Chains A and B, each alone.
Chain A
Amino acid sequence: MRKFRQDAMRSFGSFGITFIWVTVGSWLIFMILLPQLIMLDFSFRPFLPLRKIGGPEDIYTLKNYIVLFTNEFHRAIFIKTIWTSVLVTTVALFVCYPIAFYLAKVARGARFAWILMGLIIPYWINELLRIFAWQLILADAGVLNKLLLAIDIISNPINFRAGNSAVIMGMVYAYILFMVFPLYNAIESLDRNQIDAARDLGSSWLRIHRRIVIPYAKPGIAVGCIMTFMLAAGSIAAPQLLGSPSSFWFSQVIYTNFECANWNQGAAYAMVLAGLCLIFIFAMLKIFKVDLKELAK
């Protein structure tokens, strides 16, 4: 730490360091901490007409939080959001693990570069556009239905948007990198000889993954799951564009509340979502027996 300070001193000078502290500090305080605190404050106040704000009725209350339990409709959406996000995370893990393993331990040279480009280039366009593309693919008269019809696998177009399948597919695709990279990172550092040694001792590939690769990749799996889950649970574009019009995502409920000027309710739900993500993080760390310290690597 002292060395770090000396190095910083040498390259920026004391004025420069003060400048960095002040800018980073105020950015943290005004752009992150303060808005969150204001939201927290909002979430504990009742929704009142403008003239009554600051009046005798403006007292702290848990009402906005209790609504989640009394409003059956919101509660169902909340549970569905959690459940579907878990599903998205699980599917993403199963899809991305082979990709990450292939990239980290099998692919070489040109093939590695091609796959990497295939993964990264779609991220050069906006998330919204990527999800629009899926809308085109999954629509009743979309590419996928046309293809399936043409090769006679189905006789009537499938309505992907009816259930959650379109949302899940869209999200898995939209967040694939957030799962692939932590996994790749973890697996890449695994010594190739460990795999060879297990194989030499007679192990099948399945067991090599179960006993050698996956235990080693645990921190990466935890990070990938956390990122994907948080992105999925907080997602708004994918459910809006790919979900059936009659089913909502929890983030859409929050959005609607803010839109209807009920900031207090919106803030409370936003806090619930944030709390959910925190619980998920700790659950993952517990399940995978990973230290917070290891995640920093």
Chain B
Amino acid sequence: MDQYVGQDIEIVDVGMRYEGSEEYAVSDINVYIKPGEFFSFLGPSGCGKTTLLRLVSGFLEPTKGKVLIGGENMRGIGPNKRPTAMIFQNLALFPLMTVAENIGFGLEVRGVSRADRRKKAAELLELVDLPGVENKKVSDLSGGQMQRVAIARGLAVEPSVLLLDEPLSALDLKLRQHMRTELRNIQKRTGVTFIYITHDQGEALTMSDRIGVMSDSGTIEQIAAADELYNEPETVFVADFVGENNRFISTVRTANNGYAVVETSFGQQLTGINPQQLSSGQQAIAFVRPEAISVLEDSKAGENIIKCKVKSISFEGAFVTIFLDIGGNQAFFMRRHNNGSTPFPEIDSEIDICFGAHNTRLLGTGTK
């Protein structure tokens, strides 16, 4: 697969406002994507992911800023002239052409002979693990097969960058999970830079080298690898959006050495990591992952301990989620492994739970 050369993409201060619209659909986007990287943009629906992808592919020109591919400014270069290929959300295969004609379309455009197009189509079908369907009609393929044909069609033009717009969202769960691995493999085999956009954090976390999380306002909240994003969210939005979290609205009391003590709205004192260096009196939200919480056995110094009542228990096979009542309307739950022997706490029983200060993240609401 030495014909593929992944190129880097630089998105510099990019903002996009649609004609006739008052607000920017995306703004202040600054990302450097390395050659051959699998980069995902993750964000809720309507946050501007497709807009961003169309800015890179050339269907849109940014209102502000610039997009560079392989170091070259792309302003004024149309989608047919950029070294990118796009996999559309609905795939957009050509229904009146056979599989081979679909894959060969980009080569036909470049004046490649019919025989060579067929050869290349066969090769690419091999690459996407779907050999021998050249002469089939597109409509005779299953969803997963169409997916692969769309990828083969994109790769046929030997792009430096493959842009994927939620390509798995139409598939059923099982196939979706299988295609995740498959996509990752294709990316590794070819070395093409992948920009993948999705609202599904599972997809983003499992496949990507790095992820850019976007918020509803069309800006990037944080760019990081999956584990970092999950363990060290930098903003309230990321802490809320990625994974599940308990959140306590609180006020900072004292702060030192990267840690701070806060008082929650229901009067509980908690100690946590203070990555934004919030100071006394500032509003903060304390985040605790449900799996970081355990039932207190021996009291340990420096840990957060809360008295609560067991409200309900939800059994999920490998996991058990325990919903806890700590007064007021505060939602609170913990999750633990089901090891088959440790008994679950009884409903309505009073228990003490605890979690470490290093598992408690304090993030300011005012700052980004």
Contact = CB atoms under 8 A, between A and B. Distances in A.
Interface of A: 191, 193-194, 196-204, 207, 211-212, 215-216
A201 B92 contact: no
- Listed from nearest, the 3 A-B pairs whose CB atoms lie closest are A201-B106, A193-B92, A197-B92
29 contacts: A193-B88, A193-B89, A193-B90, A194-B94, A196-B59, A196-B79, A196-B88, A197-B92, A197-B94, A198-B105, A199-B80, A200-B80, A200-B84, A200-B85, A200-B86, A201-B80, A201-B105, A201-B109, A201-B154, A201-B157, A202-B80, A202-B81, A202-B106, A202-B109, A203-B105, A203-B106, A204-B109, A211-B108, A216-B96
A190 to B, nearest CB: 10
A269 to B, nearest CB: 41
Contacts of B86: 196-197, 200
Nearest to B57: A200
A234 B96 CA distance: 35
Given A193-B90, A196-B59, A201 B96 contact: no
B104 to A, nearest CB: 10
Interface of B: 57, 59, 78-81, 84-86, 88-90, 92-94, 96, 105-106, 108-110, 153-154, 156-157
B59 A203 contact: no
Contacts of A197: 86, 88, 92-94
Contact of A201 (B89, B90, B153): B153
Nearest to B20: A109
A235 B80 CA distance: 46
B94 to A, nearest CB: 6
A131 B88 CA distance: 48
A194 B88 CA distance: 9
Contacts of A207: 109
A14 B88 CA distance: 53
A197 B105 CA distance: 10
A194 B89 CA distance: 11
Contacts of A194: 92, 94
A65 to B, nearest CB: 42
Contacts of A200: 57, 59, 79-80, 84-86
Contacts of A203: 80, 105-106, 109
Contacts of B57: 200
Given A200-B57, A200-B85, A191 B157 contact: no
